[in-house]
Amino acid sequence: MKKYAKIVNDKTKACEVGIGTNKTFYKSIGMTELDVEQAFDGNWYLTGYAPSAPEHGYAEKRSAAYPSIAEQLDMLYWDKVNGTSVWIDTIDGIKSKFPKE
């Protein structure tokens, strides 16, 4: 998107971006209209130079996939009562889906 901006890092193409509408002010501080985009971390870059969000590792993916502790305890209780293996099957499935790297 076009915004008044100034490149503050020639290597990364990071920019300072004006968020208002006062074109005269932005021009007076050395900003020009540039095509910029906002990265995952909230910083601005010339379009095409914004870094991507880092990929989550297996630990973060597993953690997000595990049922809550309360749900796991309920699974364990009912496995004990019914002689089933729902809890271990659930945990094994998650560990298989997101193996250690």
pLDDT digits (tens, 9 = 90+) for 5-43: 999 999 999 999 998 889 999 999 999 999 999 999 999
Residue 55 has pLDDT above 90, yes or no: no
Average pLDDT, the chain: 95
Q: Evaluate if residue 101 carries a pLDDT over 80.
A: no
Output the CA–CA distances (angstroms, integers) from residue 55 to 18, 37, 59, 60, 64, in the order listed. 30, 20, 11, 10, 14
